[in-house]
Structure 1
Amino acid sequence: MERPEKLQIPKRRGRDWRRFLSLLAAIVFLHAHANPSESIQPRSSHGGSVTWHLNHGVLDPLGIRIDAVANNLPQRDSRKKSSYQNLEFSALDADALQLNIANGLPRALTGGQLSYQGGMTLQFPGGNADLQAFALRPRAAAAPFALDIVDRQGHVWFVLGHGHYLIEDDGRSLALRYMNVRLSAYFAQMLHRPELNGLVVGGMDAISKLAQTDSVQMACSAPWPGQSGAQANIKMVYQASDAESGQPDGIHFMRCGLPNGSGSYTLNSCTSTSTDHYAVFSPDTSLLNVGSAVVPWHKMFAGPFAPYGNDQHPFLIWNLYRINADGSLRQLAASGVKHAFNTINKTCGCSDSQNNYPTCEDSYSNYSNDIAATETPNYLGPRSEIIPAAGKFGRCQSVFDPNCLGTQNANGGAQDDFQYRVVVPEREITASLQPGATFYFEYWYVVRDQVDIYNAMGYRPISFSKNAQGLWTGSPGTFSNGPVINAWVNPAAPATGTMNPELLTSEGRARFAVTTTALGAGLYRYNYAVMNLDFSRAVIDAAHPNEPNLHVLSSDGFSALNIPISSGATISNVLFDDADDDAGNDWTVTQTANALHWQAPSGHPLNWGTLYHFAFTANRAPLPAHSDLAVATPGSPTSYSTITLAPLDEVIFSDGFGTP
């Protein structure tokens, strides 16, 4: 596709991006000019409505019950199931929220409040919260968009944060969207549970009318990826104190369930002693554009737009892993795909929310990433509809548009609040059942034309605990960029007896890491972790081969692994682990005279964003060798080879690469 010469938006402060063919030079320049002088305009907003999205997966175990709901606006019926209860209320025009606007963007909430008709009462053990006629009120001397939910006596019951704060409707509306709803310190005190301060219990959207519009926009300009040497480079970052609300990026427990016999789960609260339930976790995520190109960030079905002639946007996934006491690495759970839909472009002042510019930050709340299944649009879908290395989405006949109409079906996306989430069996994260284990939570963006995929990835160690009400807590540690497999074996400085090479192909990337441990008596334990980062061989429907209505029939990865062994080697304790607990789809192993061969059953290849673990014990020491990964989809080549360590006889493989 021929791309336009340049995004036709007026330049910000006369910057000429073509001067900066070097990524570093572009970043330095832009950071030095990220906060130009602005004309701050005081404004006020009033009226509108607010929608609560209250998560029964967290509220029910705490004994918090929603009662006496008054003046709730009607909600759209949905055939889908959700653990969120949506309550919408109209605002009173008598009160107004004070804010500052500059260049078409809200800069800070400065005072006043938005008050609402009706409301509800929350019953909890030992008391109640009367939130009839509640209000949203900016928190004094806090972050610019820190908001409290207060009752008529001024008690703060909830705090809001990690939202998208935008001017919409051609400057006529203030939108506070996708905010996390957290228990306040006061609410935690009333529950006699101070440790629950900050617990996320849902989400909130508030829309109000601006009394006076701001017609001045901060127009930004940058080349598209590939133009004048410009590079797309989104970097996952961690915010210890969110710039809008002053809250840290967290990893949150959302709900527990039990299998329902139909391939999904039914909401069923964990107990203090349960180990057979399945827990859902979801992250807050933040990012920074450290490249020199503007990255498209369009909502699904909103396009087409330049430069790709579609509704291009990044795709977010998250994964959970465990390093066992024996040192082996296993993936425990994998999410579907969250389709990104909007960028707030904070720190750079660009009022265009559909493109992310160099030096601009963005964030998505936990609620946004765990959005209720009944919400339309719903942004959660399967990974199989993505061609990851190309950054393409097959929206035609996807779960969002099954009839290829070019619009999102109201019942598309996730069908309940377990589908396309990280869903992990309790027993896999229960400390007493996993002694000596450590856990890691990983999340990353797939960005089209991304110059460094490892920048767009990040992970944090996380420890799990469960309270007397059955609520799980995930306490995350220090954030690092890259994939978890690089924490298991450092590719830059692998320890003796380990390797972590990258398999780089025109169809995407994988990593093939190995650790070996001498057990004594001439025995060695081999642990392999094969991480498919963004490798797939897509099959495209000939009737819909092009964007925006591309139809991806399949986007599969690898279907077999072959590891060479010495003909005289004795192999024992062979093991395979995938990212689920279904033994029926495990890869099967066959031993021949000089190889171990694992084969995927039909329909269960090693697809992108997923790690499989292979292990065995052998009576041969590790030597360099080549291993083969077979591609699940027919085509050329049929397999790829990568260096590893294997149980070989040194006298036979004298050069370490299989040549006598």
Structure 2
Amino acid sequence: MNQRLTFVLFALAVTPVGVLAATSWNHGGGAGPAIGADVKVSALPDLHRWGRVGTVSSFNLGTTVCNIGDEIIPWVASTNHHPAIINNLYRLKDGRFEQVGMGWVKHGFFSTNSDGCGTCQDPGSGSLLGLGCSDTYSAILNGDQSRLGPRSDVNAFTGVFPYPPTLNSGTGRLSGRVQIQDGDLDPGLNPGAKYFFEGHYVVLEDAQDGNGDNNASHRRVRVTGTAPNWTLDFDGQPVQQRPALEAWRDNDPSVVITELRVPGEGRFLLGYNAYDNGDGTWSYEYALYNQNSDRSARGFAVPVPSGASVTSPGFHDVDYHSGEVYDGADWQYKLARGHAAWFTSAYAANPDANALRWGTIYNFRVTCDRPPGPSVLQVGLFKPGTPKRLTVAAIGPN
């Protein structure tokens, strides 16, 4: 008996006898191609501010997920057959789209099987997410420290993670929650900035059926309150099935976003733009998002013409926290062999190096005295495998 069916039958075994007819929905049936297990984040209904310690505040975002596939999905507490949920916060400021906060994984535990997606075919068990059914976790539940685990446990491409989590997030106002520095929120330091909160689900069956690319949605928020106790309120409606990076292009049509796919594995998105500084130089801005690649990235390289003047190299990442195992050292920069390049340690040297891992954006930037034109950039992959790097058509100094 396959593992998925075993868990579905286990979940049904604890439900009333009268709901066993729900098993007829498990593989969809009917005409048309099979979708398999597929979820989307359909709503981001609420926000919660936990408080502030020192110069750091913590928040969480509520999430509603819908079963849009043609299979009932196991949603079983205390196993790895439940959703792993993350929250991220991003800021768009001065033409730069950066991640300024991240939280630990929230482990799901019970499906409400509500009608938030339309007509829910209720399977009769909170250990299953039925066809057309929704399940909501409030912002407070998504920051419940008793149900948080490290991101390092999760392979977002396969959907596999251990349970119970290998680490506990701790207690207090901050641990495991989305942590943001005062300086990244203060309106006086961030004039004109726009902010976007993202909810992202990893579900084992969804990932194994190849449907993990539509699991992130985002919603614009604004900073309110008074110093130093800044808070966040909604400033728009949810944008479904699109990661927050796409808000950069939505707010600046000159931005280009392109997909990079690791063969047989996960997905990256690269956003980029070039800005004329009006003094004979151009600023090149790149935002690389790892949506669900477990192989992750350890290098980024932009070709530079011979004789070009390259100045103001920059790198931006987001801080891991609460005892997460990863090394947070910034990537090194080097201008050599015709490339402006950034890199972190190789996997063989440090498996916990600061690679670009799932659910995060890292930024790379340079100023150059050559105008933008077509270019082929390189993304070096972190974990062993083939290929060792990806190439992507974008723009760079010409």
- Give the TM bin, normalised by the shorter chain: 0.7 to 0.9
Offset of 1:531 from its aligned partner? 0.3
Measure, in 1, the Cα distance between the counterparts of 2:98 and 2:169: 28
Partner residue in 1 for 2:339: 595
The answer as to whether partners of 1:253 and 1:474 remain within 8 angstroms in 2 is: no
Partner residue in 2 for 1:229: 34
Measure, in 2, the Cα distance between the counterparts of 1:523 and 1:230: 49
The answer as to whether partners of 2:213 and 2:267 remain within 8 angstroms in 1 is: no
Offset of 1:8 from its aligned partner? 5.5
Measure, in 1, the Cα distance between the counterparts of 2:164 and 2:29: 27
Partner residue in 2 for 1:345: 113
The answer as to whether partners of 1:454 and 1:483 remain within 8 angstroms in 2 is: no
Correspondence 1:608 to 2:358 = yes
Correspondence 1:567 to 2:306 = yes
Equivalent residues in 2 for 1:96-107 (5 A)? none
Correspondence 1:355 to 2:133 = no
Offset of 1:364 from its aligned partner? 0.5
User: SS at 2:41's partner residue?
Assistant: strand
**Distance change (3 Å), C-alpha of 1:589 and 1:437:** same
TM-score for the superposition, normalised by structure 1 = 0.52
Offset of 1:479 from its aligned partner? 1.0
User: SS at 2:188's partner residue?
Assistant: helix
CA deviations 1:224-253 (Å, max 9, x no partner) are: 5999824222121127xxxxxxxxx21221
Equivalent residues in 2 for 1:448-527 (5 A)? 448-450=204-206, 451-467=210-226, 470=229, 472-481=231-240, 482-489=242-249, 495-496=253-254, 498-505=255-262, 506-527=264-285
Equivalent residues in 2 for 1:281-430 (5 A)? 281-301=59-79, 311-324=80-93, 326-347=94-115, 348=120, 349-371=122-144, 373=145, 378-395=146-163, 398-399=166-167, 412-430=168-186
Measure, in 2, the Cα distance between the counterparts of 1:627 and 1:358: 42
Offset of 1:396 from its aligned partner? 7.4
The answer as to whether partners of 2:150 and 2:165 remain within 8 angstroms in 1 is: no
User: SS at 2:183's partner residue?
Assistant: helix
The one-letter code sitting in structure 2 at the alignment partner of 1:503 is L
How many equivalent residue pairs? Answer: 371
User: SS at 1:489's partner residue?
Assistant: helix
Off by >4 Å, runs of 4+ in structure 1: 3-9, 215-219, 224-228, 493-496, 581-584
**Distance change (3 Å), C-alpha of 1:456 and 1:226:** farther
**Distance change (3 Å), C-alpha of 1:628 and 1:238:** same
CA deviations 1:441-478 (Å, max 9, x no partner) are: 11111123435434321111111122489362433422
User: SS at 1:500's partner residue?
Assistant: strand
**Distance change (3 Å), C-alpha of 1:317 and 1:5:** closer
CA deviations 1:362-404 (Å, max 9, x no partner) are: 1011221111x4xxxx2101111111110000337822xxxxx
Partner residue in 1 for 2:22: 220
In structure 2, runs of 5+ residues without a counterpart are 322-326
CA deviations 1:511-566 (Å, max 9, x no partner) are: 111111122233211100000111113xxxxxxxxxxxxxxxxxxx2111111111
The one-letter code sitting in structure 1 at the alignment partner of 2:231 is W
In structure 1, runs of 5+ residues without a counterpart are 12-168, 172-214, 240-248, 259-276, 302-310, 400-411, 538-556, 649-660
The answer as to whether partners of 1:295 and 1:357 remain within 8 angstroms in 2 is: yes
The one-letter code sitting in structure 2 at the alignment partner of 1:432 is G
Correspondence 1:635 to 2:381 = no
Partner residue in 1 for 2:196: 440
Offset of 1:494 from its aligned partner? 8.8
User: SS at 1:480's partner residue?
Assistant: coil
Offset of 1:422 from its aligned partner? 0.5
Correspondence 1:533 to 2:277 = no
User: SS at 2:110's partner residue?
Assistant: coil
Q: Which structure's residues are more often helix, by fraction?
A: 2
**Distance change (3 Å), C-alpha of 1:419 and 1:469:** closer
Offset of 1:483 from its aligned partner? 0.7
Correspondence 1:256 to 2:52 = yes
Offset of 1:318 from its aligned partner? 0.8
Q: Percent identity?
A: 26
Offset of 1:507 from its aligned partner? 2.3
The one-letter code sitting in structure 2 at the alignment partner of 1:595 is H
The one-letter code sitting in structure 2 at the alignment partner of 1:350 is P
Measure, in 1, the Cα distance between the counterparts of 2:152 and 2:88: 16
User: SS at 1:392's partner residue?
Assistant: coil
CA deviations 1:309-353 (Å, max 9, x no partner) are: xx41111001011111x2111100111111111101112233211
The answer as to whether partners of 1:590 and 1:598 remain within 8 angstroms in 2 is: yes
The answer as to whether partners of 2:53 and 2:173 remain within 8 angstroms in 1 is: no
| Higher Cα Rg, which structure | 1
**Distance change (3 Å), C-alpha of 1:468 and 1:416:** closer
The answer as to whether partners of 2:88 and 2:197 remain within 8 angstroms in 1 is: yes
Measure, in 1, the Cα distance between the counterparts of 2:311 and 2:275: 14
**Distance change (3 Å), C-alpha of 1:598 and 1:351:** same
CA deviations 1:384-442 (Å, max 9, x no partner) are: 1111110000337822xxxxxxxxxxxx4544442221100111111011111111111
Larger CA deviation: 630-639 vs 506-515 = 630-639
The answer as to whether partners of 1:331 and 1:579 remain within 8 angstroms in 2 is: yes
Partner residue in 1 for 2:373: 623
Measure, in 2, the Cα distance between the counterparts of 1:226 and 1:522: 62
Measure, in 1, the Cα distance between the counterparts of 2:275 and 2:200: 31
Measure, in 2, the Cα distance between the counterparts of 1:252 and 1:507: 35
User: SS at 1:624's partner residue?
Assistant: strand
Q: What is the root-mean-square deviation in Å for CA atoms of aligned residues?
A: 3.1
The answer as to whether partners of 2:78 and 2:164 remain within 8 angstroms in 1 is: no
